[in-house]
Structure 1
Amino acid sequence: MKELTPKRVADSRVEQIQIVLSSHINGAGRLFGGQLMEWIDIVAGVVARRHSNHNTTTASIDNLQFKEAVYLNNTLVLFGKVTYVGKTSMEVQVDTYVESLGGSRKMVNSAHFVMVALDENDHPTPAPTLILENEQEEADWKAGERRNELRRQRRLEQY
């Protein structure tokens, strides 16, 4: 089996910008939650593909809470990064902000995805380890380890 080269968090970081259009708005005049979910999933997928150099699939999403309303013509900024790596899985954090015309930002959502690297037969394949370069990345890794353990416990409890 080919030796995998470890990667830095910065190697797979993603930033995506969206302008909210009328087709993205729900009946209450706000951004449709499913639309935001799609954009976040795309960002997480690109991060995981860049990290693993493979196609990936979404295995789970930990949390999707809306902290700020998003309206027509708002600018959304989505940031994605790898925070933790298992054998074939990668935890990807995607933070979403609504940005004013003046450039200030308010947090809309922060979500953690578990993405799995897939080989050419769509079977899980090993992902490169993660090089941690600063205290924030180390803290993200430790938090990712904890979330991974909580996910494992939920599976055991069938929760």
Structure 2
Amino acid sequence: MAILMEKSPDQSRAEQVHIIMKSDINGAGRLFGGRLMEWIDVVAGVVARRHCNHNVTTACIDNLVFKAAAYCGNVVVLKGQVTFVGSTSMEVRVDTFAEALDGTQEMINRAYLVMVALDENDKPTAVPPLRLDTPEQREEWAAGQRRNDLRRERRRLDY
């Protein structure tokens, strides 16, 4: 079995930018939540692929909190990073911001997704450990561990 080298969250970060178009708007005139969820899933997939160097699949969207609305013509910026890893899975946080013309950003959404690395037979495969270089990364890891424990408990209760 190959030894996997640690990777820093910085090595797999991803950012995606969109201008909200009419086709992205819901009946209430705001960014359609389903469209944002699609963009979030894509960013999480890119982050996870960069971390593990494998194809990935979304295991769950653990938390998706809409904090504010975005409207037609707004620029939205999605920023993703690995926050926690297990043996074959990675937790990815994606923060979404509405960006004003002056460049200031207001967070409108935060989501945590669990992505699973897949081998050439579409079976779960080992992922590299996460190297934690900063106090913020260590805090996010500890929070990710707590979220992982809660996911396990929910699975136990659901079955």
* TM-score, L = length of structure 2: 0.98
Note the C-alpha offset of 1:106: 1.0
Secondary structure of 2:46's counterpart equals helix
The separation in 1 between residues aligned to 2:137 and 2:92, in whole angstroms, is: 12
Cα RMSD (Å) = 0.9
Task: Report the counterpart of residue 58 of structure 2 in structure 1.
Answer: 58
Structure 1 residue 65: deviation in Å? 2.1
Identity of aligned residues (%): 60
The residue number in structure 1 matching 2:122 is 122
Letter of the 2:80 counterpart: G
Tell me by how many angstroms 1:142 deviates. Answer: 0.2
The CA deviation at 1:87 is: 0.2
Determine the structure 1 residue equivalent to 2:10.
Answer: 10
Q: Distance in 2 between matches of 1:134 and 1:17?
A: 26
Is 1:47–2:28 an aligned residue pair? Answer: no
Q: Counterparts in 2 of 1:79-94, with a 5 A limit?
A: 79-94=79-94
Q: Which runs of 4+ in 1 moved over 2 A?
A: none
1:71 lines up with 2:71 in the alignment = yes
Q: CA deviation at 1:6?
A: 1.0
| Aligned positions, number | 159
Q: Which amino acid aligns with 1:68?
A: A
Any idea what the Cα deviations from partners look like across 1:32-54, whole Å, max 9, x if unmatched? Answer: 11000000000000000000000
Q: 5+ unaligned residues in a row in structure 1: which ranges? A: none
For 1:13 and 1:135, the matched residues in 2 are separated by 17
SS in 1 for 2:70: coil
Question: 1:131-150, aligned counterparts within 5 Å?
Answer: 131-150=131-150
Q: 1:108 aligns to what SS in structure 2?
A: strand
Residue 104 of structure 1: how far off its partner (Å): 1.3
The residue that corresponds to 2:107 in the other structure is 107
Question: SS of the counterpart of 1:121?
Answer: coil
Structure 2 residue matching 1:27: 3-state secondary structure: coil
Aligned mates of 1:81, 1:16 — CA distance in 2: 12
CA–CA distance in structure 2, aligned partners of residues 146 and 13 of structure 1 = 22
Matched residue SS, 1:102: coil
SS in structure 1 at match of 2:64: coil
Deviation at 1:121, TM superposition (A): 0.4
Q: Structure 2: where are the runs of 5+ without partners?
A: none
Matched letter for residue 151 of structure 1: R
